[in-house]
Amino acid sequence: MENSDSESDNDIKNENQPEEIDVTPEEREKIKQEISTMSFEELQKLKQQIGTKVYNETIFGVHRQPKTNFKRLNKNRPREMSSKRRINIRNEITQLKKQPTFRDPRFDPLCGTFNEESFRENYKFLYDMKQKEYKQLERELEMTEDVEERRKIKYLKQRLGNQIREHEKLEKEKRKIQEEKQEIRTKLRKGEKPVFKKKSEKKLEGLIEKYEELKKSNKLQKHIEKKSKKLAAKFKKSE
């Protein structure tokens, strides 16, 4: 079955190629003499008539290599192939091409370890930019009279204000932790017993500080009202 398929393929190839004519050495010499006086167009026509291989043998003295037919000694054996067969380099390169790997820098050891202090210092300019943008939005809000535009500016201003306040809150907490650690180290150096505060104590201190700040900025009453509404809504849902 495989032999019949290969024979049919060869027949198709032979149909597409011009038929090559066997020429004797005497005829070949005669052709050489005639070719020397022919034009390029005539040479192309001759090439089509006698075939490319015969033409090349005549002009360049290239001898035809005997065609080797690889046959199976046993039908169960694989077909033998020539080792001189050209390799398609393009296909080889495509197969060897590496697939792109996607990495998450947060979990990739090649990206190094995360240093929070360095990160905060390197990207400190973003906080400064947000503060400038917040002031710019305040100015735009004062100058704008269009209702829709004012609504958009108010939304952006509120969102940016929340980000700035959150950043300041985190920075304050970090400074407080550093101060506590420094205090513990100082006491240990002096030979004194350090005091380790409980989470409940730290939470209470944080609430006291928050209420003190709200009182100074005259926002305590507003904060209490907001909390009361939130608790009332929560209580209503639970009923």
Per-residue pLDDT averaged across 148-159, rounded? 93
Looking at this protein, which amino acid is placed at residue 137? L
Mean pLDDT value across the chain: 76
Q: What are the tokens at 16?
A: 């597409």
Q: Which residue has the higher pLDDT, 5 or 188?
A: 188
pLDDT digits (tens, 9 = 90+) for 175-194: 888 888 898 889 888 888 88
How many helical (H) and strand (E) elements, i.e. helices and strands, does the chain have?
10, 0
Q: Is 61 left (phi over 0), alpha (psi -120 to 50) or beta?
A: left
- How confident is residue 129, by pLDDT bands cut at 50, 70 and 90? very high
Q: What are the tokens at 187?
A: 């006491």
pLDDT for the residue numbered 15:
44
> Given a cut of 60, is residue 20 above it in pLDDT?
no
Per-residue pLDDT averaged across 165-169, rounded? 89
- How confident is residue 136, by pLDDT bands cut at 50, 70 and 90? very high
Per-residue pLDDT averaged across 208-212, rounded? 82
